[in-house]
Structure 1
Amino acid sequence: MADRPGKKIKDEYMMDSHKLLWHLDRVCQWQQGKRIAPLHLDIGITTGCNMGCVYCYGVLQGRDMANQRFNMPKDALLRLLKDAKDIGVRSIAFIGEGENTLNDALYDGLSFAKEIDLDVSIATNGIKIPRERLQDMMEALKWMRFNISAATRDSYYNIHKIKAYDRVVNNIQAAVELKRKHKMEIAIGLQMVVVRDNISDIVPLARLGKKLGVDYLVVKPCSDTYDGTMSTPHEKYLEIEDIMQEAECFSDESYTVSVKWRKMKNLGRKGFEMCYGTSFLLQISGDGTVFPCGHFFNIRRDEFTMGNIIDASLKEVVKSERYWNVHKKIQCVNVNRDCETNCRHYYISQFLWDLKNPPRHVNFI
């Protein structure tokens, strides 16, 4: 059961946790000081986006407008996928600073990933999804998540700064219908980022997700810089526990509303002092640059660039001394001053920190 204060619903996706316990072979290698391949990659294949979400951390990462974007070439993407499979990467999520459906190379990439038996997923705003390619796309994916942080046309425009609510909802419905028609295994989800202006949408969006027939809605806080560039309402999150619990009550055996409680309640602070998670999870910008963490896409970029998969293969990048030196450098970063709050590595880094810093008398289990 998920650790939540509200209704006890089994969250089979473990949204408020991590899954490193199912990869203890790689964890043990890391504990032994071996140079390991990452388990997972978050990759962008474009630098641009066709939305203007008020909470978008991609703006701080150097995200471009759609008409100014750089698209990763198809040959570089296919090589990246093949290299990832060869070196032992076990999953890839098409998640970057931009909207990956803007790059048509996505579809050939997904087909190739399916061909080589590489687990892949995508997070999308759902605006630009060609219906004629949707089925093939879904058949290649383990999960597909629509980023939608509002439940009405007006609030959607207020949060996402584009009039696309009906189009997105229709595309979600089309995906759900295809899944049911063809009995696909893919999980279809929604993701909501909570800011001050959409708190009143939390319960209505939970209701909408159930009506649409998706598998889950995940509710998460907005990430921010340590000095509050995004004005994330960390204190306000503590005041809306009853609203989030009400949203969770829409959960049943076929639909889960999953609140990231640990992140919602941590006031933007991390309980670990050093980030070890980058050894297991890398993030690649839409321009092909490899980073330990997406926070550094446009901040101290020269310090934390590991390489570029357009200029060199992922295999070459991971074997380079530059790659391993950047991992060491990350461990010198003050995670509560120099990083974003509620980062991508939050859960796994807490687990790895605990492993590195055991309690006394560990044999007394």
Structure 2
Amino acid sequence: MRALTTGSRLALKAVTHIGSGDPVLYKRFVDLARGVRGLGLDQAMFTNGDFPKDYCRHILDTFTWIRFSLDAATTETHNRVHVGRGSFPSIIDNIEWLVANRKGRDFFTVGIQFVLHQKNHHELKEAGILAKKLGADYLNIKPVINRGAVGIRTSKFDLGTRRVEEDIRWMRESLNDETFEVVYKPYQFQINNTPYHEDGAPNPDFVRRYKRCYAVNFEWWIENSMDVSVCGPMNKFVGNLREQNIEDILGSERYREVVEAIRIDECYRGCRPHYLNEIMHSLDHPDFAFHKNFVG
């Protein structure tokens, strides 16, 4: 909390709880959530959703949005994908409770995520229908990206780009309306470290027009070890909050060297803030063909 207190003084706006485990596993999760909210910060969470029902009220009172990593539409597939113990019904109950008890989507957003691969693709459409039925605001579809961090190896997959895009196109045409949206980033499905590009080659249509990463100036990744990175996926380590405070890290030679040494052509192609970098590049280059007043 000391780091976040300092961050709030330095114009930090929001905190996202995310990890390879689950944020709610932290024993003082409720106290942490209240503390972050007490600093006047927005906060959000990626979660598998398998938390006690009495957490729902605390989450609704202290969070701005939540995204459930569901990745299935049935208990059977959910158990297979998450190596679960039959928690799918209770997760659905948590989603329904949050939707039913929020003041409205303007005050609290509920999203569902579907990380797509060979073992759950058959339920993609059904998951979209379920998400809308539950009252979620969106279904976010992502591919498994082979960076060595997933248990199911992408080399085993045989899904093709066309098949995936056809399903997503149907979902967007059939399900999208003023209260629900199927969301995905096409470039993430057409890159050389996912199983969806038929010939295995990088998609020639994917072009980074920006020459540097602006996103490193907008977010930090803080591990449970308190190590700090300006880019988690590429392990751009800049300091440790057990040994330094935020101001020390920001003013350090290491921070400057790491940020200046980032080479866009070496970044992995599924980069989440790709669109943010496109927008910031357009603002930094007035002649760049981009509608600056319509960045949303």
Counterpart Cα distance in 1 of 2:21 and 2:7: 21
TM-score normalised by structure 2 residue count: 0.80
Contact persistence 2:128–2:182 (CA under 8 A): yes
**Which residue of 23, 29, 33 maps to 1:106?**
29
**What does residue 348 of structure 1 align with?**
276
Shift of 1:276: 3.3
1:152, distance to aligned residue in structure 2 (A):
1.0
Confirm whether residue 263 of structure 1 aligns to residue 263 of structure 2: no
Assess, with a 3 A threshold, how the Cα gap between structure 1 residues 178 and 311 changes in structure 2: closer, same or farther. farther
Residue 300 of structure 1 is matched in structure 2 by none
- What is the match of residue 198 of structure 2? none
Quote the offset at 1:333 in angstroms. 6.0
Judge conservation of contact 2:140–2:182 (CA < 8 Å) in 1: yes
Q: CA deviation at 1:148?
A: 0.8
Query: For structure 1, which runs of at least 5 residues remain unmatched after alignment?
Result: 1-77, 298-303
Matched AA of 2:184? V
Task: Please tell me the residue identity of whatever aligns with 2:255.
Answer: Y
Correspondence for 2:256 among 315, 324, 339: 324
**Residue 163 of structure 2 aligns to which amino acid in structure 1?**
E
Following superposition, the deviation at residue 183 of structure 1 comes to 8.6
- The letter for the 1-side match of 2:23 is N
The one of 183, 190, 204 aligned to 2:112 = 190
Residues 8-56 of structure 1 deviation map (CA, whole Å, 9 limit, x = unaligned) = xxxxxxxxxxxxxxxxxxxxxxxxxxxxxxxxxxxxxxxxxxxxxxxxx
Shift of 1:234: 9.5
Partner of 1:251: 176
The answer as to whether partners of 1:190 and 1:217 remain within 8 angstroms in 2 is yes
Q: CA deviation at 1:235?
A: 7.1
Higher relative contact order (CA 8 A, sep 6+): 1
* Paired letter, 1:239: R
Partner of 2:294: none
* CA–CA distance in structure 1, aligned partners of residues 269 and 153 of structure 2: 11
Work out the CA distance in 2 between the residues paired with 1:121 and 1:315: 24
Q: Is the 8 A contact 1:274 1:334 kept in 2?
A: no
Q: Report whether the alignment pairs 1:143 with 2:65.
A: yes
Q: Which amino acid aligns with 2:33?
A: L
CA contact (8 A) 1:218 1:258 kept: yes
Cα deviation, 1:279-298, whole Å, max 9, x if unaligned, reads 2222121221101211244x
Q: Shift of residue 206 of structure 1?
A: 0.5
- Aligned-residue sequence identity (percent) comes to 23
Which residue is equivalent to 1:25? none
SS at match of 1:190: strand
Mapped to 1, the partners of 2:281 and 2:178 lie a distance apart of 34
TM-score under structure 1 length normalisation: 0.66
In 1, Cα distance between equivalents of 2:20 and 2:280: 26
Change (3 A) 1:166 1:89: same
Shift of 1:222: 2.2
Instruction: From the superposition, tell whether residues 230 and 285 of structure 1 become closer, same or farther in structure 2 (CA, over 3 Å).
Output: farther
CA deviations over 1:291-318 (Å, ceiling 9, x no partner): 1211244xxxxxx321112332223222
- Give the CA RMSD over aligned residues: 3.0
- Secondary structure of the 1:243 match is helix
What are the superposed Cα offsets for residues 95-146 of structure 1, whole Å, 9 maximum, x if unpaired?
233311111333222212222211111110111x232232122221110110
- SS of structure 1 residue aligned to 2:160: helix
Q: Deviations over 1:170-227 (max 9, x none)?
A: 22222222226x898100110111112222111000011112111111112223339x
**Contact conserved, 1:97 with 1:285, CA < 8 A, in 2?**
no
Deviation at 1:334, TM superposition (A): 3.6
Count of residue pairs the alignment pairs up = 272
Q: 1:108 to 1:149 in 2, by over 3 A?
A: same
How far the C-alpha of 1:147 sits from its partner, in A, is 0.6
Q: What is the SS of the residue equivalent to 1:114?
A: helix
Helix, strand or coil: the match of 1:240?
helix
Deviation for aligned residue 1:245: 1.7
- Code of the residue aligned with 1:264 in structure 2: it is F
Task: Return closer, same or farther for 1:325/1:120 CA change in 2, 3 Å cut-off.
Answer: same
Q: CA, structure 1 residues 360+329, in 2 after alignment: closer, same or farther (shift >3 Å)?
A: closer
Contact kept, 8 Å, 2:191 with 2:269, in 1: the verdict is no
Q: 1:215 to 1:333 in 2, by over 3 A?
A: closer
Matched, 1:160 2:88: no
Alignment of 1:1-365 (within 5 A): 78-127=1-50, 129-163=51-85, 164-179=87-102, 185-225=107-147, 230-231=153-154, 236-248=160-172, 249-266=174-191, 271-272=207-208, 274-297=212-235, 304-330=236-262, 332=263, 334-335=265-266, 339-353=267-281
Deviates more, 1:275-284 or 1:184-193: 275-284
Q: In the superposition, relative to structure 1, how do residues 240 and 259 fare at CA in structure 2: closer, same or farther (>3 Å)?
A: same
TM-aligned CA distance change 1:88 to 1:234, over 3 Å: farther
Contact 2:118/2:158, CA 8 A, preserved across alignment: no
